Amino acid sequence: MIIIVRSALPGPELDGIREFVERHGLRTHVSHGTDRTVIGCVGDARAIDPHAVRTLPGVEQVIPIRKPYRLASADFVASRTLVSLGDARGTVVGGEELVIAAGPCSVEGREMLLETAAAVHASGARMLRGGAFKPRTSPWVFQGMGEEALELLAEARAATGLPVVTEVMDPRQVELVASHADVLQIGARNMQNYALLAEVGRVRRPVLLKRGLSATVSELLLAAEHVMAQGNRDVILCERGIRTYETATRNTLDVGAVAVLKLETHLPVIVDPSHAAGRADLVAPLAFAAIAAGADGLIVEVHPRPHEARSDGDQSLTLGAFDALMRDVARFAAAAGRTLGAPSPSATARSRPVSAEDAARDAALVA
């Protein structure tokens, strides 16, 4: 149930409405907007008579929620959620600025990570991605460097100022990952790992929640509901492509889901064009489509030498290709009425000469 009250309702009257509702066993959450104030009520709405609520001083409207998700519903709040990354720049996801996260699929060593972090920072990325614990289909391939990678990510953050997003795979890892990372990623395979969702919901860190390989939009929002039900409202949704019959791409990027989510939820929505494409030469057009559909940001895989990558090299952009992508993204952002942060003048884009192989690849990607 949603209760809409006068925007300038005095505090004692607002508290009186909440106390009345909570006496019937529901929990309340207040959201103040410019034009209205919304009291979201979570629990068994059958326990309370909506007509009785309408008679309370200051109540303008009582709206029942018929959707299975409540906390994540756009109807539940008066304004869209802005998720702060906690960096010195005050970056928020969900505002006017498109926020770009970039970095390697997996952390493979100190030199490559610091080189990548400096380069994506110089190109205008606002967040550094990198896997420490890697869920892999085969148990015989590289699984990530674990805690050592977390320490390297923290070092890269100190060197560049970029907030770090990395995946957590197990409820027992949450405290460890949260002590090193700024944003906790829930991967596609764990979208419905409810114990993990509840655990990250108890930690006061933003959560980047990726859509499952075969999940519906409603199931994605219900997964977000599990996080939010534990008190953590800082959830960023990520469309990363779903599994269909099509084999031309690694996954099928559901651009329509971005538009639907922007209507259905107040949570920010970003897109991962790398996992959707599976090919570096398709990352840019999918990124542009995501921005046109209303995405609040992108998360892109970047590696200084993709041919040497221990995971997802085929879909990783070189440093030069990412720099070119960011220049093009700025134009699409402007067309969509969004902004893109300026590249850092102090960071170094490359710390070593570009190989002939990578230069040729850069040229092919931006052609």
Domain residue limits at 153: 83-366
pLDDT for 366:
44
Domain of 332: which CATH number? 3.20.20.70
**Beta-bridge partners for 102:** 128, 300
Please tell me the pTM assigned to this model.
Answer: 0.82
- Work out the mean pLDDT of the chain and round it to a whole number: 90
Q: Residue 351 — pLDDT band, cuts 50, 70, 90?
A: very low
Residue scoring higher pLDDT (68 or 119): 119
Q: Is the pLDDT of residue 40 over 90?
A: no
Domain of 14: which CATH number? 3.30.70.1140
Residues 241-269: what's their mean pLDDT? 97
pLDDT for 277:
97
Q: Residues with Cβ < 8 Å from 160, sequence gap 6 or more?
A: 117, 118, 121, 128, 347
Among 66, 92, 113, identify where a domain stops.
66
pLDDT 10s digits, 2-39: 899 887 788 888 999 999 999 888 888 888 877 778 89
In angstroms, the Cα distances linking 331 to 82, 111, 316, 328 are: 23, 32, 22, 5
DSSP track, 258-308: HHHHHHHBSS-EEE-HHHHHSSHHHHHHHHHHHHHHT-SEEEEEB-SSGGG
> Comparing C-alpha atoms, which of 362, 347, 364 is closest to residue 120?
347
Q: Is the pLDDT of residue 358 over 90?
A: no
* Coil, strand or helix at 76: helix
Within a domain: 76 = no
Within a domain: 71 = no
Residues 302-324: what's their mean pLDDT? 96
How many structural domains is the chain composed of?
Answer: 2
Query: Terminal CA-to-CA distance of the chain, rounded, Å?
Result: 53
